[in-house]
Amino acid sequence: MASNTPNLGLLKKDPMTDGNETFNIETMLNENWDKIDTAVGSCEAEITNLKQSGVDGKNQLETAIIAKEGTVSKQGQIATFEELNDGIRSIPTGTDTSDATAVAGDILASKTAYGPNGKITGTIPNLTGIRTATGTAKWPDGALAVYPEKGYQKGGAGDGEIKVTTAQLQEAELALRSENIKNGANIFGVAGKSTIVDTADALLDPQYLLVGQSGYDDGFKKNGLMPNRSAENQHMPGLEQTLWPGDRYFIRPPHGYYDGNTWVAATEPDLKPENIRAGVRVGGPGGPVGTFSPGSRKMVTNYLPEKEIPDPNTWLIMDLFVIPPSSNYVDVFTTKNNTIDKIESFTMADDYSTIKTAALVLIDEAGVMYTLVTTTSGGADIRQNLTGFYIARKERAGSMYSRPFVGDTEPNVTPMPAFPANFNLLGQLRFCSAHMYSGNDMRPIARAYARDLVVVTT
């Protein structure tokens, strides 16, 4: 049985059912060709329309790409799909970076951004933790300028501090020195100098500070005005003195410093032993002991027994009487007949060749011997005599007299020899005979006497 194709409706015969029915040119060939021709004509129109639609679509797509700032590089009048595909890919995506000005040095290290030339990787160092300043300076107004490292730092406590060292602070502020800081204070690691102290509570009057010394009071240096009296004089003269009889003696010192090892002195020319009662000490353990005596008077007659002189060239001293201490005079004179000898020193030996000495001497409290008269000879006996003498103790001078020369009626008066400087005339004096010999005599003897004498001291 015949049938038609589903799309064009072409007539088809079924060999099984139609058999060998005669082929109909009109229905089976011409009509089918007409149907095909009609269908083909319709396809050409549609293809033309479709082609124009493709051209129009490409043009619209090209316009759209260009509108999006894409680039369509076409070889012909109409861009190919491949050229349009490249154009689509050339359309910029995201923000327009064509006018960007950032460079790598403006962006943090490890971070990226896009500029006119594409992706940029930053180079700014990322600084973390506490960093030390690279330098410091001082602004004209006195403020501190701190120079940090180049780079990014978060800022704030814990991860943004910039540490300025003590040395850097001192570079910026030259006055940041120990000598400008009070003792006990510490400013940015600079400890105060031990000699820098607050003197606000100090009380310093220059008159109580030694000359040559200085100190600080209320922030000012003050030079001492108090003289060093101990350095000026070991025995500084006092300004005045007064006495509490029977109690104490006062000396007013000049104003100044005394170190305790020097003295304040007052001139007292009459403060001498001879002006002080005998046995009395004035002025403490180191003061003078008085030798002044109101005077004494005594009778003297003394015959000394003979004594052997034990050794040659050695004095034998025989005491005749004692003269008490006094400050003025000693008078020794006879009570009767002053024309004969009253004092005698006698030295005798059997051998005429023996040299003998007889002398009359005074011996002071220290044992210093002073010779009034002396005789040395080789005769059998040697004598030395006096009738009397007097001494002015203060003047350290005196005279002695002996029996008159033959034919004279008055005693022979002669000055006493000079007293040695170390001889103390004011103290107690021993009047003695002195005897000595030299040679081989085995029996030299000494004898002396003082008779009918009066000894007066004043």
The residue with greater pLDDT, 283 or 450, is 450
Residue 159's pLDDT band, with cuts at 50, 70 and 90, is confident
- Helix 31-67 × helix 81-90 angle, to 10°: 20
pLDDT at residue 23, as a whole number: 63
7: pLDDT strictly greater than 70: yes
What would the two tokens of residue 37 be?
Answer: 């021709």
pLDDT at residue 408, as a whole number: 64
Question: Are β-strands 316-323 and 412-415 bridged in parallel, bridged antiparallel, or unpaired?
Answer: unpaired
pLDDT at residue 339, as a whole number: 66
pLDDT at residue 18, as a whole number: 63
| Identity of the amino acid at 146 | V
pLDDT at residue 263, as a whole number: 92
Mean pLDDT, rounded, of the chain: 84
pLDDT at residue 360, as a whole number: 96
Contact 255, 227 (CB under 8 A): yes
103: pLDDT strictly greater than 60: yes
Residue 429's pLDDT band, with cuts at 50, 70 and 90, is very high
Contact 442, 308 (CB under 8 A): no
Dihedral angle over CA of 247, 252, 257, 259, nearest 10:
-30
Cβ within 8 Å of residue 100, ≥6 positions away: 113, 114, 115, 116
Residues 28-83: tens digit of each pLDDT: 677 777 777 777 777 777 777 777 777 777 788 878 878 877 788 778 788 888 88
Domain boundaries of the chain, sorted by first residue:
1-94, 131-191, 230-267, 296-457
Residues 105-147: tens digit of each pLDDT: 888 888 998 888 888 998 989 888 888 888 899 999 989 998 8
pLDDT at residue 441, as a whole number: 62
Please tell me the distance from the alpha carbon of residue 266 to that of residue 89, in angstroms, as a whole number.
Answer: 126
Distance of CA 85 to the CA centre of its chain: 92
